[in-house]
């Protein structure tokens, strides 16, 4: 369960989302059994909706895990020949994601990269129409300048887990070890709510920010 909506409301919303794809269902079970963090169904549904609205040709995902979120996007990019580059730093999860993409028949649309996103992102070239970030929250602020540069004018940046169990709220109480991460997330939220971005923060899962890069900004 998430931390922002009541359990009753979150359960109700989740039950409205039908996941008929048996592979997605299997990945949900696998993630739960192995304690692997993946996006909630609500976030997957949001991603699929944004993909259909934007029809991006080039997508960047930071944080592949076992490929669950990638499939929510790849299921639609195949309609218009879009390509996805996705980054994962855990070798075992990367290997599993590669298997998943082959099983789903989208391996020709997805380029899975193994390594530290902080090292890979600065080396990426070209622009992306859509970027989804679901990785180390403490790095979001470090990645922000690169993401802003990589995102094409008119592009969409989606960032997961931005409310961090509500700890980013003013006067929230949290362990001292979380102080730096919370401060960096708060600053990240400030950055994406200033030009050249227009952003909205949604209380889905652990908080999702949807940011639009104004076309006249670059």
% of the chain surpassing 70 pLDDT:
94
* SS3 per residue for 2-52: CCCCCHHHHHHHHHCCCCCCHHHHHHHHHHHHHCCCCCCHHHHHHHHHHHH
- Of 9-18, 61-70, 180-189, the range with the highest mean pLDDT is 61-70
Asked: is 7-217 a CATH 3.40.50.150 domain? The reply is yes
What is the pLDDT at residue 174? 76
Digit-coded pLDDT (tens) for 116-131: 999 999 999 999 999 9
What is the pLDDT at residue 24? 95
Which one is predicted more confidently, 75 or 175? 75
Q: What is the mean pLDDT of residues 183-187?
A: 92
CA dist list (Å): 202 to 163, 176, 189: 9, 27, 12
Tell me the pTM. 0.91
Digit-coded pLDDT (tens) for 195-215: 999 999 998 888 999 999 998
Digit-coded pLDDT (tens) for 52-90: 999 999 999 999 999 999 999 998 898 898 999 999 999
Which one is predicted more confidently, 218 or 62? 62
What is the pLDDT at residue 188? 96
Q: Which residue has the tokens 């996805």?
A: 84
Evaluate if residue 218 carries a pLDDT over 70: no
What is the pLDDT at residue 217? 43
Q: What is the band of 13 on the pLDDT scale with cuts at 50, 70, 90?
A: confident
Average pLDDT along the chain: 91
Sorted by where each begins, the domain ranges of the chain are: 7-217
151-183 core/surface letters (b: 16 or more CB in 10 A; e: else): bbeebbbbbbbbbbbebbeeeeeeeeebeebbe
């Amino acid at each position: 369960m998430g931390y922002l909506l009541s359990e009753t409301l979150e359960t109700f919303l989740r039950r409205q989302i039908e996941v008929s794809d048996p592979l997605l269902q299997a990945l949900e079970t696998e993630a739960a059994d192995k304690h692997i963090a993946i996006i909630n169904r609500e976030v997957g549904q949001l991603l699929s909706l944004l993909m259909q609205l934007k029809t991006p040709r080039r997508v960047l995902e930071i944080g592949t895990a076992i490929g669950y979120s990638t499939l929510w996007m790849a299921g639609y990019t195949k309609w218009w020949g879009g390509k996805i580059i996705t980054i994962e730093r855990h070798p075992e999860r990367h290997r599993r994601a590669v298997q998943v993409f082959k099983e789903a028949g989208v391996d020709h649309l997805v380029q899975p990269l193994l390594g530290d996103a902080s090292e890979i992102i600065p080396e990426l070239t070209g622009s992306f129409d859509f970027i989804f970030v679901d990785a180390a929250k403490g790095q979001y602020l470090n990645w922000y300048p690169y993401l802003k540069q990589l995102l094409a004018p008119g592009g969409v940046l989606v960032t997961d887990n931005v409310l961090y169990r509500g700890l980013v709220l003013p006067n929230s109480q949290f362990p001292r070890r979380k102080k730096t991460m919370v401060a960096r997330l708060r600053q990240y939220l400030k950055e994406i709510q200033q030009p050249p971005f227009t952003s909205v923060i949604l209380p889905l899962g652990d908080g999702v920010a949807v940011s639009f890069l104004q076309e006249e900004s670059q």
